[in-house]
């Protein structure tokens, strides 16, 4: 039989408890708080993605699917988001589709769990239900050039 020192047993137990705690925390965050990973929804040609009629990003904006359910197509390009303002009502659920025409960008919508990378040619998708009235700032969190600090948009949620 193998002899394990008392201190080793304590550290092994501590390590197992930490792993179990982290697994529980990830499970609670994923299912209890609705944390979701951005997924690659599809691919587009970054050279023609902004052309009207070629893709939904040719005319970016909000599209109503049903009462309170929307799709938002947002195009990131040096140094702006198009559209730069979206208006919603409390309780609306929006599926955001993001892509870029030029370089890598990032998007963080304050007050939500939306935080993802935007790559040229890749469409990223996340869904969020807006429960409270207020203004959410959409910021680029990935350095994208000299005008990076001016790249923002707004989501206004009205009562």
SS3 at position 77: strand
106 with 138, same domain: the answer is yes
40 pLDDT above the threshold of 80: no
pLDDT above 70 coverage of the chain, percent: 97
Alpha helix positions (H), the chain: 6-27
44 with 77, same domain: the answer is yes
48 with 30, same domain: the answer is no
What pLDDT was estimated at residue 133? Answer: 95
Give mean pLDDT, residues 94-107.
93
d(CA 154, CA 135): 7
118 with 78, same domain: the answer is yes
For the domain that residue 92 is a member of, what is the CATH number?
2.60.40.420
d(CA 58, CA 76): 12
9 pLDDT above the threshold of 90: yes
- Note the pLDDT tens digit of each residue in 128-157: 999 999 999 999 999 998 999 999 999 999
What pLDDT was estimated at residue 159? Answer: 92
Q: How many domains does the chain have?
A: 2
Instruction: Report pTM.
Output: 0.79
Domain interval for residue 29: 1-35
Confidence label for 30 from pLDDT (cuts 50, 70 and 90): confident
Short-list 68, 52, 60, CA closest to 123: 60
Confidence label for 100 from pLDDT (cuts 50, 70 and 90): very high
3 with 67, same domain: the answer is no
64 with 3, same domain: the answer is no
31 with 46, same domain: the answer is no
21 with 80, same domain: the answer is no
Query: Other CB atoms closer than 10 Å to residue 63's CB: what's the count?
Result: 15
């Amino acid at each position: 039989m193998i002899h394990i020192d008392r201190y080793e047993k304590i550290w092994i137990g501590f390590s197992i408890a930490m792993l179990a705690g982290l697994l529980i925390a990830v499970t609670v965050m994923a299912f209890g708080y609705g944390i979701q990973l951005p997924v690659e929804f599809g691919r587009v040609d970054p050279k023609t993605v902004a052309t009207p009629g070629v893709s939904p990003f040719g005319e970016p904006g909000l599209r109503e699917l049903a009462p309170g359910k929307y799709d938002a197509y947002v195009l990131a390009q040096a140094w702006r988001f198009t559209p730069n303002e979206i208006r919603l009502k409390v309780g609306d659920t929006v599926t955001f589709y993001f892509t870029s025409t030029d370089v890598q960008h990032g998007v963080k919508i304050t007050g939500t769990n939306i935080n993802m990378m935007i790559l040229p040619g890749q469409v990223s998708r996340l869904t969020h239900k807006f429960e409270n009235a207020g203004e959410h700032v959409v910021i680029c969190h990935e350095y994208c050039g000299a005008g990076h600090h001016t790249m923002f948009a707004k989501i206004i949620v009205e009562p």
